[in-house]
Amino acid sequence: MEEVERKTSNMNVEAAAAEDGLTGIRNAVPQRQVATSNDPNDPRNWTTTAKVTTYATICLFSFIANVNGSNFTVAIVPLVKHFHITSTHATFLVAFNVLMFGLGNILWVPLMRVLGKRPVYLIALAVFVAANAWSTKATSWGSLLGGRMISGFGAAAADATVPSVVNDMFFIEQRGHCMMFFHFALASGIFLGPLINAWIVQLHGWRWSCGFIAITGGVIFLLALFLVRETQYNKERRVYERDEIPAARTYTGWLGLTVGYNNDKPMERFLRTFWDIVRMAFYPPVLWVGCLVGLFVGWTIVIQVTTSQTFLKPPYSWKLGYVGVFSLSAWVGVILSFFFGGKLIDIIANRERRRDPNHILRPEKRLIALIIPVLLSPVGLIIFGQCVAHQTSWVGPAFGYAMHSFGFTATSNIAVTYAVDCYQRFDGEALVTIFVVRNAIAVVCSFYSNTWIINDGLKEVTGTMAGIQWALLAFAIPFYFFSTKILALTSTYGPQKRLMTVMTEPTK
């Protein structure tokens, strides 16, 4: 009997490795058998209604957080006139908001590991609403900058924490498709934000663009109060005997703020999570994904700022509201990317998993889907730059913008899902590192895009941008073919080394 149990355990070694994000190093150490949970309180066993209401509310937060991030990309001219500042100083309101949008998760994710996700979302929403209310009353540029930075800090909780929620609630074969809803909400906020904000600024002034976000954030706070359940599951997933199955928690039980609290050395856990975030910056897949997504975000900011300045001047001479309408072309690209960046990567990954003798999910298989944005997104940048430089009809720039936004959304979801699959036990930590790198690159683009375009011209700038984008996308090739070796290497240092140490301990 012991011999049979030993063989059974060995057969499950590779399945356990895949669940723990250690694909590619599954032969390095023996691993414990992973059982399916039958606990009704396990988020993966929730009803569809519970999952949808929780996830949809969080995605609404992600949407308005990114509307907030793109808030002043269409208000550069009114802000320059109101505060008597340069256009470069006006873009600081976007840049420092984006910077805090990335850095905020350095606090939110460690706090999430201790308190759970529901309290973090409620606290962050309260900060978000208060900061936008403050911005509506700002009487100086410095006061407005402070309000924008704090609103970015509150909005950050709707960013890096969300893939961890998906990992909590959905099985691995569903995650690519489910993650796409998050990236759809994120991209919709980025591309519909200028449309919403442009009309508000034109009709009611820039202060009400902050007021609208504060009101919407307040509504989402109320929804979260009643709909967002705690997805953090602090127990070991296992199959209980029939008479040991825990009682299902009631609806009111889910509304508590201590459901996800982890009382196992909370301060140590907080500091360890913070340190894990720092060390994961030295994991090649994490750093590459951060740079890749950051590049797409940065180029998107360049396009948005260029659009708001170009189409307000002759020969176009558009009103501000119509500049916002132009962003609908980008949103069309987002919609078209929904299948190619989401469901398609699950189809590819699950097909390869079925072909594998041990049914192991290989994270690098998701990178195959990058072929489509590689062919479209950089070309879209070139089309946009050429058309604007030659002052063609708005149709050409709109077409290029749609192509780039298609690649932005698809690439972001493919790359982030790949990173989550590589390091599932540290998904939140990995995503913080990715989004800090992403937003740092976006801030640099915000600071220097105007000067770059003035010195070199938009045609040359967008050509260079496309070349850099192709070069960074090309790194997917070594990550695809050498994934096993790369993941084996990253298991020898950082948080993965600690995980490997735990997994090699003998089972009691």
Q: What is the pLDDT at residue 13?
A: 35
Q: CB of 411 within 8 A of CB of 403?
A: no
For 10-31, letters b (16+ CB in 10 Å) and e give eebbbbbbbbbbbbbbbebeeb
Q: What is the pLDDT at residue 503?
A: 53
What does the alpha-carbon distance between residue 389 and residue 457 come to, in Å, rounded to a whole number?
8
* CATH T-level fold of 45-233+266-503: Growth Hormone; Chain: A; (1.20.1250)
What does the alpha-carbon distance between residue 24 and residue 487 come to, in Å, rounded to a whole number?
6
Q: What is the pLDDT at residue 356?
A: 67
Burial label, 113 (beta-carbon count in 10 A; 0-12, 13-18, 19+):
buried
- In terms of pTM, does the model score above 0.85? no
DSSP calls for 90-129: HHHHHHHHHHHHHHTHHHHHHHHHHH-HHHHHHHHHHHHH
Per DSSP, the three-state class of 131 is helix
What tens digit of pLDDT does each residue of 402-415 get?
Answer: 999 999 888 988 89
Q: Which of 376, 440, 461, 446 is nearest to 411 (CA)?
A: 376
Report the range of poorest mean pLDDT among 131-140, 242-251, 439-448, 462-471.
Answer: 439-448
Report the range of poorest mean pLDDT among 89-103, 155-169, 341-355.
Answer: 341-355
What mean pLDDT comes out for the span 68-91? 80
Omega of the bond prior to 315 within 30 degrees of 0, cis? yes
Using CA atoms, how far residue 297 sits from 93, 294, 408, in Å, is 16, 5, 7
What tens digit of pLDDT does each residue of 295-339 get?
Answer: 998 888 888 878 877 888 888 888 878 887 888 898 988 888 877
Q: Residue 246: pLDDT above 70? A: yes
Query: 357 falls in which pLDDT band (50, 70, 90)?
Result: low
CA dihedral in degrees (182, 368, 480, 30; nearest 10)? 70
Q: CB of 407 within 8 A of CB of 300?
A: no
Q: Which of 424, 420, 440, 433 is nearest to 276 (CA)?
A: 433
Going from N- to C-terminal start, the domains of the chain cover 45-233+266-503
Q: Which of 26, 12, 7, 10 is nearest to 488 (CA)?
A: 26
Q: Residue 150: pLDDT above 90? A: yes
The one-character DSSP state at 356 is: S
Q: What is the pLDDT at residue 62?
A: 95
What tens digit of pLDDT does each residue of 205-231 get?
Answer: 889 999 999 999 999 999 999 999 999
Q: Residue 508: pLDDT above 60? A: no
Q: What is the pLDDT at residue 237?
A: 80
Q: Which of 110, 48, 304 is nearest to 192 (CA)?
A: 304
More confident residue, 283 or 503: 283
Q: What is the mean pLDDT of the chain?
A: 83
What does the alpha-carbon distance between residue 482 and residue 66 come to, in Å, rounded to a whole number?
35
What tens digit of pLDDT does each residue of 372-422 get?
Answer: 899 999 999 999 999 998 888 899 999 999 999 999 888 988 898 899 888
What mean pLDDT comes out for the span 28-43? 60
Tokens found for residue 360: 């192991």
Q: Could you give the angle at the alpha carbon of 453 between the alpha carbons of 408 and 380, nearest 5°?
A: 30
Helix (H) or strand (E) holding 223: helix 206-227
Helix (H) or strand (E) holding 26: none
Q: Residue 291: pLDDT above 90? A: yes
Q: Residue 95: pLDDT above 90? A: no
More confident residue, 22 or 344: 344
DSSP calls for 256-322: -SSTT---SSHHHHHHHHHHHHHHHTTSHHHHHHHHHHHHHHHHHHHHHHHHHHHTTSTTT---HHH
Q: CB of 206 within 8 A of CB of 79?
A: yes
For 406-427, letters b (16+ CB in 10 Å) and e give bbbbbbbbbbbbbbbbbbbbbb
For 414, list phi and psi in degrees, rounded to 5.
Answer: -60, -50
What mean pLDDT comes out for the span 451-479? 91
